[in-house]
């Protein structure tokens, strides 16, 4: 019980520090939220009207009072009003979280599956051209920025071949409620491929190293002496011993997938929280940006916590960390 309370206290402290850091960074930003909100209409708005808008949003108050007021509303369950969408923050996030989960959730799952499969294949063929090819492929993926990979895929499959749509989660001009399942999947394919490829490399390389260690163990040498083939050993001994470490890395990669989704959603105009994050930052929408930062921190820290627990299961010496 004490451990759970200690973890909850750390989680609350982490959320508070992240919120404070994001708040201070946005306050130091040159973006004026009132000017961003007005847009082209700023030419017809005088200083008095701008001051009234700032006062209505509480921007005329000292910085610490603004932060404490925001924190008080959050503790009461009020995330505030989004200035860029002119709607409650909770509604904006609810409207976009399904699209984000469809993209990031599937990408996280598929990257774990394909990364583990590639790592096992490379370890089973260690030292051969298959192993070298997979390693070079993973190194290239690890060094490739997500947005650049997304642009290359778009140029190849959307612009060049015309196989996939260029943007959005459905056909332009069609209301979301009228978009068919096939149309949703058709628009999801390319962003999903880009984000999945982004997450494969680390899991594959880690699985390869772990499985090679397993294949060099004494009980595997005994199995070889008894006539077991390489693939028999991988299937019956290697996969079982490498699965939990691979799952640990997969859980720890949640943050990377979320970070990559911000760029992927921006490139493909995907209507998720990643694109909303960019718009909130560009328009100085502090309530929305803070809410997304808190949600992301909660998800990433939970994934890391699960990874720590799995690591303790793999290596009991880590249990006290």
Q: Do 180 and 128 belong to one domain?
A: yes
Q: Do 78 and 175 belong to one domain?
A: no
Structure tokens at 121: 């294949």
**Which pLDDT value is given to residue 287?**
87
Q: Do 94 and 50 belong to one domain?
A: no
Last residue of a domain, which of 40, 60, 88? Answer: 88
**Which pLDDT value is given to residue 180?**
77
Mean pLDDT of residues grouped by 10 in the chain (321 residues)? 74 87 84 74 71 77 85 86 85 86 87 87 83 88 81 86 80 73 84 85 84 74 67 69 74 77 82 84 85 86 75 53 44
Q: Do 43 and 155 belong to one domain?
A: no
Q: Do 141 and 163 belong to one domain?
A: yes
Query: How many beta carbons lie within 10 A of that of residue 293, not counting itself?
Result: 20
Last residue of a domain, which of 71, 88, 105? Answer: 88
Q: Do 129 and 51 belong to one domain?
A: no
Report the number of distinct structural domains present in the chain.
2
**Which pLDDT value is given to residue 78?**
85
Q: Do 75 and 102 belong to one domain?
A: no
3-state secondary structure of 1: coil
Per DSSP, the residues of 50-97 read HHHHHHHTTTTS-HHHHHHHHHHHHHTT---EETTTTEEHHHHHHHHH
Q: Do 98 and 235 belong to one domain?
A: yes
Q: Do 59 and 113 belong to one domain?
A: no
Last residue of a domain, which of 55, 88, 121? Answer: 88
Query: How many beta carbons lie within 10 A of that of residue 306, not counting itself?
Result: 16
**Which pLDDT value is given to residue 318?**
45
C-alpha to C-alpha distance for 74 and 89, rounded to whole angstroms: 11
Expressed as residue numbers, the domain containing 244 is 90-318
What CATH number did the domain enclosing 151 receive? 1.10.3720.10
Q: Do 20 and 135 belong to one domain?
A: no
**Which pLDDT value is given to residue 224?**
67
Q: Do 54 and 119 belong to one domain?
A: no
- Helices vs. strands in the chain: H and E counts, helices first: 15, 2
pTM for the whole structure: 0.78
CA dist list (Å): 197 to 132, 143, 223, 319 = 18, 12, 35, 32
Q: Do 230 and 152 belong to one domain?
A: yes
């Amino acid at each position: 019980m004490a451990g759970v309370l200690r973890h909850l206290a750390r989680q609350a402290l982490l959320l508070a520090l992240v919120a404070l850091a994001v708040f201070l960074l946005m306050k130091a930003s040159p973006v004026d939220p009132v000017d961003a909100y007005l847009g082209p209409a700023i030419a017809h708005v005088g200083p008095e009207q701008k001051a009234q808008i700032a006062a209505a949003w509480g921007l005329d108050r000292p910085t610490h009072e603004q932060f404490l007021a925001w924190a008080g509303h959050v503790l009461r369950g009020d995330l505030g009003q989004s200035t860029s969408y002119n709607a409650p923050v909770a509604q904006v996030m609810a409207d976009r979280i399904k699209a984000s989960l469809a993209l990031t959730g599937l990408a996280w799952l598929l990257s774990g599956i394909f990364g583990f499969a590639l790592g096992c294949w490379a370890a089973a063929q260690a030292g051969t051209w298959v192993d070298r090819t997979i390693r070079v492929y993973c190194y290239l993926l690890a060094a490739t920025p997500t947005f650049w990979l997304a642009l290359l895929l778009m140029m190849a499959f959307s612009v060049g071949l015309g196989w996939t749509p260029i943007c959005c989660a459905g056909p332009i001009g069609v209301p979301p409620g009228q978009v068919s399942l096939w149309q949703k999947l058709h628009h999801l394919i390319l962003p999903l491929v880009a984000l999945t490829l982004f997450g494969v490399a680390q899991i594959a390389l880690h699985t390869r190293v772990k499985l090679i260690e397993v294949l060099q163990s004494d009980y595997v040498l005994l199995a070889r002496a008894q006539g077991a083939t390489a693939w028999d050993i991988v299937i019956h001994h290697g996969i079982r011993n490498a699965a939990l470490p691979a799952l640990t890395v997969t859980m720890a990669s949640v943050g990377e997938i979320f970070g990559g989704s911000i760029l992927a959603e921006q490139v493909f105009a995907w209507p998720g929280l990643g694109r909303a994050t960019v718009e909130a930052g560009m328009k100085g929408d502090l309530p929305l940006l803070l809410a997304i930062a808190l949600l992301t921190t909660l998800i990433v820290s939970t994934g890391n916590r699960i990874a720590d627990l799995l690591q303790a299961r793999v290596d009991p010496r880590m249990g006290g960390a």
